[in-house]
Amino acid sequence: YCAHIASLPPFETAAFSVAWAGEQVSLNWFHIAREYTEKWHHQQQIRLAVDLESELFQAELYRPYLETSMLALPHHYRKMEAEDNTLIKIQVTGEGGGDWWLIRKTDAWELVIHPDKMPDAAVSIPGEIAWRIFTKGITKEEAKLLVVISGEKHLGEHILSMLAVMA
């Protein structure tokens, strides 16, 4: 398996698309990253069951999981109506966490790295539950009790139903 993954040219078309990110055709690098998220979250589900989940929250392991999962944001928000330049900040706290920014441009949402305005909605998700939100490991109602949302709440709450896993 490892030899096969290593042999795939990163910028050539993958055998399988990353559908949860809205892609019908994906490049190998994204397919490989998606494979990582699958293995990471299945390992984490096992660790959660035996109360040993903290080991995978190391930045070097959790950050790639989160970076890949957040690529689902534009697709997940695609039907969320908002004015142009509406900005949403998604923060995952803890080791490996970080900030992701989603902005509405004309008729689509886009991830941006350095926004030039204050967010219209901000979401702070505890690192311990972010992966569970994106894999249906926690309900939206349970997540609402643990997540802090400011600004336009309907924009922020939408992430609580995001799926970044093959289902």
Q: Could you count the other beta carbons within 10 Å of the beta carbon of residue 44?
A: 22
Kindly state the average pLDDT of the residues 146-159. Answer: 97
Q: Vertex 17, ends 85 and 8: CA angle to 5°?
A: 115
Q: For residue 63, what are its two tokens?
A: 């950050």
Residue 55's pLDDT is 83
Q: Is the model's pLDDT at 167 over the cut of 80?
A: no
Q: What is the pLDDT of residue 59?
A: 92
Q: How confident is the model at residue 53 (pLDDT cuts 50, 70, 90)?
A: confident
Does position 24 have pLDDT exceeding 90, yes or no? Answer: yes
Contact criterion met (CB below 8 Å) for 102 and 73: yes
pLDDT digit string, tens, across residues 112-136: 999 999 999 999 999 999 999 999 9
Percent above pLDDT 90 for the chain: 90
pTM for the complete prediction?
A: 0.94
